[in-house]
Structure 1
């Protein structure tokens, strides 16, 4: 299912009235970097949505470093920037689609499937000589009606209750060293949820072209252990550090036709916030 579009595709359609372009550039550790980059230069007509201010709820005791936003609050924000239920939405970032995929997932979670991620990202767009601007976009408020797709997401309790369930496969999307417990630069504990396999989200990207996604055949080969598990009847739950970098893996599996993949939204940072949750290290 083609949820990735090329920059050429967007260039040909960027002024169509139902198309909304969203810039999701962000940089962990430098929260204002994405907003500053947007102010300096962006695709004409694009609006900016921030990972932490718009696409996450405030951090609490549990829920992870980027908790899911309240659906009504997010829907109101989408309406404020002009997104309606009839909008076609193209999202981009400059980080291989990691943050763009978060908005792709959130929109589908709210019941809006007409959303795409632009391949290769903003730098590729700019280097191709395509138009950019520093002008503030005109935002005509609209109304976004949502219907939450509850079966797209699971919580900590669901994961914990199913640790020994052979019909469920957990997929950890983080760097192998973090998964194995060899290092942990962000969260308080190192390791992974017991039973999870490791499938780094960056492996969905093409080694030869910066920030470009692999094609369907390459993805099919890359994600074979996961797709084979689904084909055998297993349920797949994907997680990462905070529910963001898992989204490219969910999107990649969606492209292969696996719409039923679930996201553990709180992910590792939520898992370790509960005393007594087991932690595994090394390979599974």
Structure 2
């Protein structure tokens, strides 16, 4: 199946017994705001995933704002939500995939079946006046057959590798908005700027329609990345503020036919912790 599905497809398969729909939430201003937004409306049957608690281990913030959790702990989170090796997992958010694709990447990282992104996410779903459910959502039955993590550590780039990108022939992409990349503003991290040698590849430029969050075609994405002097043979590492929106670039690279790009999980927030001014 494609990495993307349409709102039409999902509307026709909402009651598929093997389907689990994940609503991935995060709001910078409050740890509780994302769940409150979920409760005000979500796709019927969708389960809530919190970026901070379900997809991160924030016990050591020297590793960045959203360090990856222990794989076995992540598998336990999935099992508690009824996700096992035969589950069809559809993911979405209300931010054009910029948060949900962290879950897509993590499923690949642990060797789980491929998650599929709802193209356009909740924004497109609502614009089309499709059904919306209110409240805390359903309580899932835990998975009777949990996933067995088969971690692919080759998907990750370390700080040491990023420190020597020039010597290693690595192209480091930064998915943040240009004004954050250039240090003009910094609404989240304690210091503005970017990692030396990084190339700005804002995740929002992967979209054909920012209003609904739908992706450009593979040909359009290929042209976008070729304009940054990338080729399918390039060694690419993707970064951002904390290893989240970088996954949007990794996903877009996959759509464009650029296989094998890696994630720097700590990204700018880990970099500045390890390289104080």
TM-score normalized with structure 2 length: 0.93
* Cα offsets for 1:45-80 (capped at 9, x unmatched): 111110001111024242101111111111001000
1:269 & 1:209 partners in 2: Cα distance?
28
Give secondary structure in 2 for the equivalent of 1:49: strand
TM-score normalized with structure 1 length: 0.90
Give matches, 1:201-240, under 5 Å: 201-207=203-209, 209-226=211-228, 229-231=230-232, 233-240=233-240
| Contact 2:242 2:266 (8 Å CA) reproduced | yes
Q: Rate the CA distance shift 1:234–1:221 in 2: closer, same or farther, 3 A.
A: closer
Structure 1 position 144 matched with structure 2 position 147: yes
1:73 & 1:195 partners in 2: Cα distance?
34
Give matches, 1:56-205, under 5 Å: 56-134=56-134, 136-142=137-143, 143-160=146-163, 162-165=164-167, 167-205=169-207
Aligned length: 274
1:73 & 1:149 partners in 2: Cα distance?
16
Offset at 1:200?
0.5
Q: Rate the CA distance shift 1:182–1:112 in 2: closer, same or farther, 3 A.
A: same
Tell me which residue corresponds to 1:282. Answer: none
Gaps of 5+ in 2: none
2:160 & 2:83 partners in 1: Cα distance?
33
Offset at 1:207?
3.7
Q: What's the Cα RMSD here?
A: 1.8
Give secondary structure in 2 for the equivalent of 1:104: helix
Q: Rate the CA distance shift 1:79–1:165 in 2: closer, same or farther, 3 A.
A: same
Tell me which residue corresponds to 1:250. Answer: 250
1:14 & 1:213 partners in 2: Cα distance?
22
* Cα offsets for 1:178-221 (capped at 9, x unmatched): 21222322222222111111111110112464222112222122
| Contact 1:90 1:118 (8 Å CA) reproduced | yes
Give matches, 1:12-23, under 5 Å: 12-23=12-23
Q: Rate the CA distance shift 1:127–1:176 in 2: closer, same or farther, 3 A.
A: closer
